[in-house]
């Protein structure tokens, strides 16, 4: 109330001050205008009378002057007239002019001397009077003077009226200010503050979990956003604490963000983590006239970002967003995440030629199909290989600048884009602890042997202290490849390689996701699977009982065409699900510069349209294909609403979509159909494991998922979530960091 009162008093004071200043200037202008008008009128009258008065004045005919004055007074009784001769002697006047004070003599003399009319004001008998003195001339000689008087009291009345009216307006304005201030303060300040307070109280007491919804653009919007983030963090901490307490009671241990942070501190002290990847975790893109921060699709970002949030450090990546340059500082750095910065993103800029050769060329037309058994021939070009080497050198320089003043830095290199980077780093900084995680499969020696620069790639990788893969099978393939193409000492028991007195450990580290899932929003009460399903059906104008979902980059390794063919066979075999089940494919376009990917986009859309044309009705279609870059909230909503999720990769190192779906199902419902050719299939045994090339098996698995008893669905989901709980991304990072740090310590001893 005190704030409101102070605000009201301040506003009224300012309004009164402004009103007074403007009224003063208005009064001054009005007085000047009325005076000018009065003087002009008097001047006009005097000039019009000059000829009529001059003749009787010269002929000394007072009677004629008196008659003229009487006629004029009848016509305009508000004007007084007085006539003097050239010696300032009174000749004649109208009855409404008082000369008792003889106040006109000096003005007559001044007018005669200046030979022009003059005006002035006098107060006569308490009345403000305008007096105009005009010299009468004949043949350029002054023959007398004419005095005209006007009652000017109306000017003061007009000025007082202005002050009075403005005062009334000020009163009305003050009332409106008070009313508006009270309403605005209540709606925009006290109301939202009370709403925030009630919301926080409810959260503190555990009664509500919904996000705080203030009007868009509200003055307290930024505060509400920060409070929401704070509450989200508190909710995460509370959830982690509750789970840890429960697991301690059960003699178990859960890896959390906080535990990972403490673990890294114990292993490597207060050193920063340095992550290098091609894909950046946060990309700035122009959308119309605004710049939007988006999270690129892909499992690498999903897995690594929670680790960097926990441990801090620097993530070095290619700045590929069209607004990345202007949102970064002169060193290409920007703190992330935008809503709550925990680490630094350093962007490396590539030319179009470098990106074309290094990324689209050698990495994704060469190494990617080389490592995936999906019947796509790899293409190797010398110019692509040259760009690949140059870009690896550019990233090495960016990293070396960052670690210049740090002893024994800890470096985690991500994926096949940087096979040469370990050698480039260790040749300049042998004290650096370097690990490279190869996210995609590693082929057998026969397949890898077709690469023209296989020896250079292997030498680059072996410079690392730790080379890790998703599964043991890929480790075995790598060791076989080294054995085939490089002279080295392989320890098959310890899974290590010694070459030129340098030891490289080869280990599997199955990557995972954050579990419990990292919250992006605080869930609203009553927003369950049924509510989300209704909203999704409304968005797509369909009505179904069951929903399936697939989330993929549009890539030939993901088996999207095979998935659609399995869906087509499902509707052929089980027509009772027509108009009851729809499948939504959330597809993110990827690498469209490459012809194989460009053709795949058209093939996926064509296949979906063909199946829809065959089965769809007026209010239903079997496949809803949404080609776009979907944010995490959109994907999460579909995960929670779907009765099943299909992951039908033809060859995949892990595939984190499967784990994301399981982590998102806090209702412990839903079924997972998972390709046997994914790394995730080796962990999530309670999924329906299928051969994506076998359309009959895929169709039957869809039917089994939809008709499975609820108790079995729940039990399967609980067991899969138990796997993720025990082997989440924080445990993955902890094992990776611990292994790397201990390799160096063992070597030094």
Q: Which is more confident, 101 or 688? A: 688
CA separation for the pair 574, 703 (Å, rounded): 8
**Residue 326: both structure tokens together:** 């202007």
What local confidence, expressed as pLDDT, does residue 169 receive?
81
Domain that holds residue 108: 2-157
Burial class (CB in 10 A: 0-12, 13-18, 19+), 122: middle
Q: Across 84-98, 148-162, 500-514, 682-696, which has the greatest mean pLDDT?
A: 682-696
What's the pLDDT band for 696 if we cut at 50, 70, 90? very high
The chain-wide mean pLDDT, for the chain, equals: 85
Phi, psi of 240 (to 5 degrees): -65, -40
Tell me the CATH number at 603. Answer: 3.40.50.2000
Q: Is the peptide bond before 516 cis (omega within 30 degrees of 0)?
A: yes
What local confidence, expressed as pLDDT, does residue 35 receive?
85
Question: Is residue 653 within 8 Å of 470, Cβ to Cβ?
Answer: yes
What's the pLDDT band for 470 if we cut at 50, 70, 90? very high
What's the pLDDT band for 146 if we cut at 50, 70, 90? confident
What local confidence, expressed as pLDDT, does residue 654 receive?
92
Q: Which is more confident, 341 or 367? A: 367
Strands 290-294 and 343-348, bridge-based pairing: unpaired
Instruction: Provide the strand spans (E) within 90-210.
Output: 90-93, 118-124, 127-138, 141-151
What's the pLDDT band for 249 if we cut at 50, 70, 90? very low
What local confidence, expressed as pLDDT, does residue 103 receive?
61
Name which of 57-66, 522-531, 682-691, 728-737 the model is least confident about. 522-531
What local confidence, expressed as pLDDT, does residue 99 receive?
58
What's the pLDDT band for 331 if we cut at 50, 70, 90? very high
- For the whole model, what pTM was predicted? 0.69
- Is 377 domain-assigned? no
**Residue 620: both structure tokens together:** 């239903």
- Integer-rounded Cα Rg, in Å, for the chain is 45
Point out the domain boundary residue: 157, 188, 209: 157
Q: DSSP alpha helices (H): ranges in 644-728? A: 656-664, 695-707, 710-726
Query: What average pLDDT does this structure show over 210-215?
Result: 57
Query: What average pLDDT does this structure show over 691-700?
Result: 97
- Is 61 domain-assigned? yes
For the segment 347-357, what is each residue's pLDDT rounded down to a tens digit? 999 999 999 99
CA separation for the pair 301, 337 (Å, rounded): 12
Query: What average pLDDT does this structure show over 399-405?
Result: 94
Checking if the pLDDT of 230 tops 70, the result is no
Tell me the CATH number at 49. Answer: 3.30.450.20
Strands 433-437 and 410-414, bridge-based pairing: parallel
Checking if the pLDDT of 127 tops 70, the result is yes
CA separation for the pair 31, 41 (Å, rounded): 15
Point out the domain boundary residue: 123, 157, 191: 157
What local confidence, expressed as pLDDT, does residue 152 receive?
80
For the segment 153-209, what is each residue's pLDDT rounded down to a tens digit? 888 888 888 888 888 888 888 788 878 877 777 776 676 777 677 766 666 665 555
- Is 175 domain-assigned? no
CA separation for the pair 202, 228 (Å, rounded): 13
What's the pLDDT band for 343 if we cut at 50, 70, 90? very high
What local confidence, expressed as pLDDT, does residue 519 receive?
47
Checking if the pLDDT of 250 tops 50, the result is no
Contacts of 605 by beta carbon, 8 Å cutoff, 6+ apart: 625, 627
Query: What average pLDDT does this structure show over 253-261?
Result: 79
CA separation for the pair 136, 159 (Å, rounded): 34
Query: What average pLDDT does this structure show over 620-644?
Result: 92
- Is 562 domain-assigned? yes
CA separation for the pair 21, 734 (Å, rounded): 72
Query: What average pLDDT does this structure show over 301-327?
Result: 88
What's the pLDDT band for 522 if we cut at 50, 70, 90? very low
Query: What average pLDDT does this structure show over 467-475?
Result: 96
What's the pLDDT band for 525 if we cut at 50, 70, 90? very low
What local confidence, expressed as pLDDT, does residue 20 receive?
85
**Residue 457: both structure tokens together:** 């790639």
What local confidence, expressed as pLDDT, does residue 81 receive?
84
The percentage of residues in the chain with a pLDDT greater than 90, rounded to a whole number, is 48
Query: What average pLDDT does this structure show over 371-382?
Result: 93
- Is 500 domain-assigned? no
- Is 496 domain-assigned? no
For the segment 481-499, what is each residue's pLDDT rounded down to a tens digit? 999 999 999 999 989 999 9
For the segment 545-580, what is each residue's pLDDT rounded down to a tens digit? 999 999 999 999 999 999 999 999 999 999 999 999
Q: Which is more confident, 204 or 607? A: 607
CA separation for the pair 521, 518 (Å, rounded): 9
- Is 334 domain-assigned? no
**Count of the separate structural domains present in the chain:** 2
Q: Using alpha carbons, list the distances in angstroms from residue 345 to 269, 313, 398.
A: 22, 9, 12
Checking if the pLDDT of 271 tops 90, the result is no
What's the pLDDT band for 460 if we cut at 50, 70, 90? very high
What local confidence, expressed as pLDDT, does residue 578 receive?
96
Question: Hey, how many other C-beta atoms are within 10 angstroms of the C-beta on 265?
Answer: 12
For the segment 10-24, what is each residue's pLDDT rounded down to a tens digit? 878 887 888 888 888
Query: What average pLDDT does this structure show over 445-454?
Result: 96
Point out the domain boundary residue: 103, 138, 157: 157
CA separation for the pair 509, 471 (Å, rounded): 7
Name which of 225-229, 362-366, 397-401, 699-703 the model is least confident about. 225-229
- Is 210 domain-assigned? no
The percentage of residues in the chain with a pLDDT greater than 70, rounded to a whole number, is 87
**Letter string b/e over residues 510-523, b meaning 16 or more CB atoms within 10 A of that residue's CB:** bbbbbbbbbeeebe
């Amino acid at each position: 109330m005190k704030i409101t009162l102070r605000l009201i008093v301040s506003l009224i004071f300012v309004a009164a001050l402004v009103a007074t200043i403007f009224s003063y200037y208005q009064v001054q202008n009005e007085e000047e205008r009325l005076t000018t008008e009065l003087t002009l009128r008097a001047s006009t009258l005097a000039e019009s009378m000059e000829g009529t008065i001059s003749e009787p004045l010269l002929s000394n005919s007072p009677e004629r002057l008196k008659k003229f004055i009487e006629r004029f007074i009848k016509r305009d009784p508000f004007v007084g007239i007085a006539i003097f001769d050239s010696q300032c002697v009174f000749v004649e006047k109208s009855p409404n002019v008082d000369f008792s004070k003889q106040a006109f003599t000096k003005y007559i003399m001044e007018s005669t001397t200046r030979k022009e009319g003059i005006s002035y004001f006098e107060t006569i008998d308490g009345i403000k009077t305008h007096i105009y003195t005009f010299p009468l001339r004949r043949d350029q000689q002054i023959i007398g003077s004419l005095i005209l008087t006007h009652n000017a009291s109306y000017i003061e009345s007009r000025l007082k009226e202005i002050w009075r009216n403005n005062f009334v307006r000020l009163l009305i304005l003050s009332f409106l200010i008070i009313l508006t201030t009270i309403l605005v303060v209540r709606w925009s300040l006290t109301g939202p503050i009370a709403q925030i307070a009630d919301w926080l109280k409810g959260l503190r007491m555990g009664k509500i979990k919904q996000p705080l919804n203030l009007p868009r653009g509200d003055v307290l919007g930024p505060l509400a956003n920060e409070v929401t983030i704070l509450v989200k963090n508190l909710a995460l901490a509370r959830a982690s604490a509750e789970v840890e307490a429960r697991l301690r009671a059960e003699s178990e241990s859960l890896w959390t963000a906080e535990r990972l942070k403490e673990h890294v501190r114990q292993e490597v002290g207060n050193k920063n983590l340095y992550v290098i990847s091609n894909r950046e975790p946060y990309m700035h893109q122009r959308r119309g006239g605004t710049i939007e921060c988006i999270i690129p699709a892909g499992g690498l970002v999903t897995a690594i970002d929670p680790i960097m949030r926990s441990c801090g450090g620097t993530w070095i990546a290619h700045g590929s967003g069209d607004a990345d340059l202007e949102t970064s500082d002169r060193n290409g750095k920007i703190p992330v995440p935008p809503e709550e910065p925990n680490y630094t993103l350093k962007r490396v800029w590539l030319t179009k030629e470098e990106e074309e050769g290094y990324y689209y060329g050698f990495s994704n037309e060469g190494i990617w199909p080389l490592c995936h058994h999906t019947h796509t021939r790899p293409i190797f070009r010398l110019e692509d290989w040259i760009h690949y080497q140059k870009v690896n050198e550019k990233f090495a320089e960016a990293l070396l600048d960052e670690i210049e003043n740090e002893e024994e830095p800890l470096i985690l290199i991500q994926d096949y884009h940087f096979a040469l980077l370990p050698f480039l780093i260790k040749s300049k900084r042998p004290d650096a602890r370097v690990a490279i995680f190869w996210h995609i499969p590693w082929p057998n020696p026969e397949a890898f042997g077709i690469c023209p620069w296989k020896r250079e790639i292997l030498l680059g990788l072996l410079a690392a202290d730790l080379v890790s893969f998703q599964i043991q099978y890929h480790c075995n393939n790598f060791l076989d490849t080294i054995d085939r193409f490089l002279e080295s000492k392989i320890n098959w028991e310890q899974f290590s390689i010694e070459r030129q007195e340098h030891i490289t450990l080869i280990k599997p580290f199955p990557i995972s996701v954050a579990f419990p899932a990292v919250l992006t929003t605080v869930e609203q009460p009553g927003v369950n699977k049924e509510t989300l399903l209704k909203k999704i059906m409304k968005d797509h104008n369909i009505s179904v009982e069951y929903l399936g979902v697939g989330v993929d980059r549009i890539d030939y390794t993901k088996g999207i065409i095979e998935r659609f063919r399995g869906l087509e066979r499902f509707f052929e075999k089980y027509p009772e699900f027509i108009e009851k089940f729809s499948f939504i494919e959330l597809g993110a376009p990827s690498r469209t510069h490459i012809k194989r990917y460009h053709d795949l986009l058209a093939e996926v859309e064509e296949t979906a349209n063909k199946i829809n044309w065959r089965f769809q009705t007026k209010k239903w279609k079997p496949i809803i294909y949404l080609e776009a870059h979907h944010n995490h909230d959109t994907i999460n909503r579909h995960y929670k609403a779907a009765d099943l999720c299909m992951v039908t990769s033809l060859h995949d190192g892990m595939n984190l979509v499967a784990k994301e779906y399981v982590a998102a199902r806090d209702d412990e419902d839903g079924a997972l159909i998972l390709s046997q050719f994914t790394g995730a299939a080796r962990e999530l045994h309670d999924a329906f494991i299928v051969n994506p090339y076998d359309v009959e098996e895929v169709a039957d698995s869809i039917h089994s998922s939809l008709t499975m008893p609820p108790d079995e669905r729940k039990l399967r989901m609980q067991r899969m979530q138990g796997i993720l709980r025990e082997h989440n991304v924080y445990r993955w990072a902890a094992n990776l960091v611990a292994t790397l740090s201990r390799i160096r310590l063992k070597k030094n001893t």
